Structure 1
Amino acid sequence: MNFSDAKETAEVVTRSFGEEIQFFFASLGGRIPLWITAFIVAIIALIIAKISRRIIERKLAKHGIEEENNEMEIIGGRITYVVILVIGFTSALKIAGIDVTTIVAAVAVGAGFAMQDLIINFLGGVMILAGKHFTIGDYIKIEETVGKVVDIQARVTVLQALDGTKVVVPNSSLFLKQVVSFTSNPFMRIDLMVGIDNRNDLEKVIAVCNKVFTNTKGVLVEPKPAVVVAGFDRHVLNLEMRAWIESRSGWVRLKSDLAKNIKHAFDINGIKMAMPLQITVAEKELALTDEKVKTEDPMLLTAEEKPMQPTSVPKIPQALPVQAPQVQPSPINASEPAVG
């Protein structure tokens, strides 16, 4: 390739790039009005979606849906809101000249990874409302939390615990985990354990309890209350009081009232409650018992408490008697002079 060919190639590339730049700015000037129109369409769609949701919820509320059982109201308003938003935004993208197919594919891939939890929680909320396992106003228990359902949102469910605190639970947890609903059924049973002295007259105790059931406000006649003997031993007779109440009548307060009324009735009728068994051991008896145990089990004795064992002293062999040598006296001669 000579110099003239390289120069000609450079001129062609420069001319093509310049034409592309000119075309871009020329098309940009024509697209700006379309983008403005698309933005306006998106804003209008958002406003219409919000207004439509409120209208649908208001219409459903007028058709006899109770305030504490408005799951259809929430579902209807939410579906209307989402559908109008999807239609409006899709129209805005088409007006702007953007390929909707590419956008939908990109959103689907992003939702599969980045928005997985959000989608699961949203679907969990829809399934909760559609399944009607519990509704707004019910008392439920999930894991260790007990509270009243205050709101079911798109992502979370808000509970008001018994102590007044606000608990926010993801809808996916409510959908996947075990949930206990205390007020889904019209009636619920409250159980109260009572321990009495087993020397009381059992028939009298049952008669007193039945009278308490009748006089306690909120306890239903049907299903019939019952007193069940749960167990007994030498000193205690355990009774289980079973009473049925309306599930939305405040079961915590009713259980407290029932316990107070039973205690008051027992005091009036001379029914003795079970007293805790106490065993008092005197200090001296405890010391004697401890000494006896240690005597029976020598391994429990400490080094100071172990008795001294007589040590064996090795026997020393007795020495044989030593006899002194006998000296024979020499005879005295008469001829030797006597020493004076």
Structure 2
Amino acid sequence: MSASPVPLLTRLQTTFDGLVAALPNVMIALVVLLVFMLLSRLALNGVRSVAQRAGQTPGVALVFGRLASWLITTLGVLVALTIIFPTLTAASLFSALGVSGVAIGFAFKDIFQNLLAGLLILVTRPFRIGDQIVSGEHEGTVEDIQVRATLLRTYDNRRVVIPNGELYTNRVVVNTAFDRRRLAVQVGIGYGDDIDGARALILEALDANPEILADPAPTVLVRSLADFSVNLEVRFWIDPPIRREAVESEDRVLQALKETLVAAGVDLPLPTQQVLFHDQTEETDGDRRRQREGWPAGKGASPRPARLLKEQVAPEEGRGGPADGSAPERRDA
């Protein structure tokens, strides 16, 4: 029994008739899509122009222009689909987009969070390209602020990609936010040195350095009375406040302070400790009820000093001890 080709031909004829009937709708949809694409290009240029006149950077203006262009293009595609498929109404289309949008939102939550954070960073501008920032364990120069992440170049020439959501929600230190930066180094002098004299020498050494700003003026403060030194904190300002200038300025200041203070006879003490043995203090050492923790007696006290004891070996049969094996006799030194 041979198969009849009539059903297949009928189906092909029906499909062809549907395509011919849909051609006007397809042509209209293409025209509508072209119009929306033209509008998207106009919106791109218009939004960029408005954003630049509002004081935004070219990068921010370009991002907003692209967002406007994408929105108009997406709207044009939806309108074209409703023209080609008349049964596809706007209500059913948006309801389907709503359900799928919820699923996409859960699936790409982190991406959308970084996208929104990137837009907020571009708008609020807490830092800009070229700024030197510190974020968590990373420090370096901002190379680019993208929609999803920010590119950071560390001082040892490595690139760190930081998600914008992390930068926007966590603390960020911008070292180059202002045109000047205050640095501080510490130097220790001896307890027998004159603090005012050392302060004058330090300020004189800073005045001789052309990299140190005169306004605000440098200051020298006593920060602590340490175990072996009086610690002074030297504060000074530099411009520009970039990392390389800060490190080099600290290097020159510390070198100048060391040379100046040593030349003037100011002591730069090293850590020292004093160890006192029991036979260097009092005869009561060793008696925990009367011991003074190893410190010498003060003025007016006259305890009898403890004496060193040494063994006296009776000379018998050369260098041996007593013949009976008893303990050697002790006497006062």
Normalising by structure 1, we get a TM-score of 0.64
Supply the AA of the counterpart residue of 2:170: K
Q: Counterparts of 2:136 and 2:179 in 1: how far apart (Å)?
A: 23
CA change 1:93–1:26 in 2 (3 A) is: farther
Supply the AA of the counterpart residue of 1:113: F
Q: Does 1:146 align with 2:131?
A: no
Q: Tell me how far 1:218 sits from its aligned partner.
A: 2.5
Asked whether the equivalents of residues 46 and 85 of structure 1 are also in contact (C-alpha less than 8 Å), the reply is no
Q: Does 1:74 align with 2:59?
A: yes
| Secondary structure at the counterpart of residue 87 of structure 1 | helix
Asked whether the equivalents of residues 32 and 80 of structure 2 are also in contact (C-alpha less than 8 Å), the reply is no
Higher relative contact order, structure no. (Cα contacts within 8 Å, ≥ 6 residues apart): 1
| Secondary structure at the counterpart of residue 57 of structure 2 | helix
Q: Tell me how far 1:49 sits from its aligned partner.
A: 8.5
Instruction: Compare CA radii of gyration and give the structure with the larger one.
Output: 1
Q: Does 1:191 align with 2:196?
A: no
The one-character-per-residue Cα deviations of 1:99-141 (angstroms, maximum 9, x if unpaired) are: 5524642453244212211121111112222223222221111
| Secondary structure at the counterpart of residue 242 of structure 1 | strand
Q: Counterparts of 1:275 and 1:213 in 2: how far apart (Å)?
A: 24
| Secondary structure at the counterpart of residue 123 of structure 1 | helix
Q: Tell me how far 1:83 sits from its aligned partner.
A: 0.6
Q: Tell me how far 1:163 sits from its aligned partner.
A: 1.9
Q: Tell me how far 1:77 sits from its aligned partner.
A: 0.8
| Equivalent residue in structure 1 for 2:208, among 192, 210, 215 | 215
Q: Does 1:236 align with 2:229?
A: yes
- In structure 2, the partner of 1:86 is 71
Alignment root-mean-square deviation, CA: 4.2
- In structure 2, the partner of 1:264 is 259
Q: Counterparts of 1:41 and 1:110 in 2: how far apart (Å)?
A: 30
Q: Counterparts of 2:156 and 2:39 in 1: how far apart (Å)?
A: 39
Corresponding residue pairs, total: 263
The 5 Å alignment of 1:243-262 reads 243-249=236-242, 250-262=245-257
Structure number having the greater helix percentage: 1
Q: Counterparts of 2:225 and 2:180 in 1: how far apart (Å)?
A: 30
Supply the AA of the counterpart residue of 1:217: P
Q: Counterparts of 1:125 and 1:81 in 2: how far apart (Å)?
A: 14
The one-character-per-residue Cα deviations of 1:16-58 (angstroms, maximum 9, x if unpaired) are: xx999976664345557559938984996799499849x948x
| Equivalent residue in structure 1 for 2:117, among 124, 137, 143 | 124
Q: Which runs of 5+ in 1 are unaligned?
A: 1-14, 66-70, 286-291, 294-340
Q: Tell me how far 1:159 sits from its aligned partner.
A: 1.0
Asked whether the equivalents of residues 188 and 246 of structure 1 are also in contact (C-alpha less than 8 Å), the reply is yes
Percent identity, please: 24
Supply the AA of the counterpart residue of 2:18: S
Normalising by structure 2, we get a TM-score of 0.65
